[in-house]
Amino acid sequence: MRVQLSLTLYDLIMTKPEMTTLVAISKEPVSKALDSALKSISLKQGMEIVSKQPNQSSGSYFSERWSMPALNEEDRNILRNIAAEHGSDLAFLSSSFNPEAIRVLAMDMDSTLINIECIDEIADFAGKKSDVAKITEATMRGEIKDFKESLRRRVALLEGISVDVLESVYQERLRPNPGAIELLAAAHQRGLHTLLVSGGFTFFTDKLREQLGFTQTQSNTLEIVDHKLTGKVLGNIVDGVAKASYLEHACASLGVSKVQSIAMGDGANDLLMMHGAGLSIAYQAKPVVKEKADAAFDRVGLDATLLLLD
């Protein structure tokens, strides 16, 4: 027993902790007060944090990097809250993350790539937005676990709506979120396979594929009869499991692993897709998603992702 304990202590002493690169991103020069606050809290926790890269500017953003031991979710949330107080978003890059190995960019659509939840806006034309939005919000927060049932309930409320409403939503209300166009352009310039995978509808993903040049889009098909929505979805519903599967198949088709992908989302049904990706990014996301993600963007645009690939 004494020998075993001795070896265990030796291993603990000799084994170097896994390191993480902490990246602060802001629209303004990263505050010196943030650097001081991070070092102060790290000292109190008995952790060493070392500056790697002082304030850098690239395009619309500023960033600063530090090296520190890998953190658990609770500690990461503490640091994110501190950064938020100083106007910055944070990303935690593991020592195994290799930007040059990235081959796939996978994104959710509603409230990630674009500024709206399409189903809520469709319902608005029928005076049912409040009813649909309540279900949508509860689902994205993870309070409704069965996404398929949630979607069926919401789509049923759309029965009788003219298909022209979909075009109105696309033309009048749907806009790419800040940085989306720039991110997609840069991804294609790098030769990445771009995947838009959504629990939303093909009407919108098809148009966005044409507009933004996605390599692949996957989503749900609304049944239409006599130019009106029937309140039903055709075929298999794209839920969280399906999203993860589409990303894994895209990686496999390219002969790469999931760690060579970036996955971006905002709701609970994106978590399976984001899990195991080389870089997971929560954009304007629900707390349950931010807690699990490598990066959480609340103040910067989607194109801030490019700073993490430098």
What residues are annotated to the active site?
108, 110
**Tokens of residue 242, six digits:** 């399906």
125-132 long-range contacts (CB < 8 A, ≥24 apart) are 125/161, 125/165, 125/168, 125/169, 126/157, 126/158, 126/160, 126/161, 126/165, 128/157, 128/158, 131/157, 132/157, 132/158
Tell me how far apart the alpha carbons of residues 193 and 214 are, in angstroms, rounded to a whole number: 8
Write the DSSP string, 209-241.
Answer: HHHH--SEEEEEEEEEETTEEEEEEESS---HH
Question: CA 244, 149, 267, 245: dihedral to nearest 10 degrees?
Answer: 0
Q: Is residue 267 within 8 Å of 286, Cβ to Cβ?
A: yes
